[in-house]
Amino acid sequence: MQTDVREMRDEDIEQVVALWTAAGITRPWNDPYRDIDFARAGDHSTVLVAVTAQRVVATAMVGEDGHRGWVYYVAADPDHHSQGLGRTIMTAAEQWLISRGIWKIQLLVRGDNKAVVSFYEHLGYHDTGTVCMQKVLQA
């Protein structure tokens, strides 16, 4: 079956949130609907979806800050693991950034998620040895 990657549409929202939930990547402190709206509000970010038979099977939220690209909410349908969907959606995210002149991509992985770290290492990503810090500006 053919898989196509495109920017998400309004009619994909419920499938995307369901996929993120099934893949275990949602967190109680991050409203996925708010994150989707924010990513789709401007020209510097989007949500990419991989679709097979009109079903969203993988996602990546991708954006750029004018210097670096970032990727979030990378997920593949748990029923379709090990079928190359992660590689497919990450390649699409990288191409989205390259088309905007961005030459560096970054992402965050929870330190104890060894399987995901291994996946990204297999794709050529590496730990930069930096510390990520944050400050919440609005609840």
- From residue 51, give the alpha-carbon distance in Å to each of 33, 35, 99, 109, 116: 19, 20, 21, 24, 22
Cα 61–chain centre separation: 4
How do residues 40-98 score in pLDDT, each as one tens digit? 999 999 999 999 999 999 999 999 998 899 999 999 999 888 889 999 999 999 999 99
CB 14 within 8 A of CB 57: no
- How far apart are alpha carbons 116 and 129 in whole angstroms? 17
3-122: CATH, from 1.10.357.10, 3.40.630.30, 3.20.20.70, 3.30.70.100: 3.40.630.30
Q: What pLDDT is recorded for position 86? A: 94
Q: Where are the domains of the chain?
A: 3-122
Confidence of residue 1 (pLDDT cuts 50, 70, 90): confident
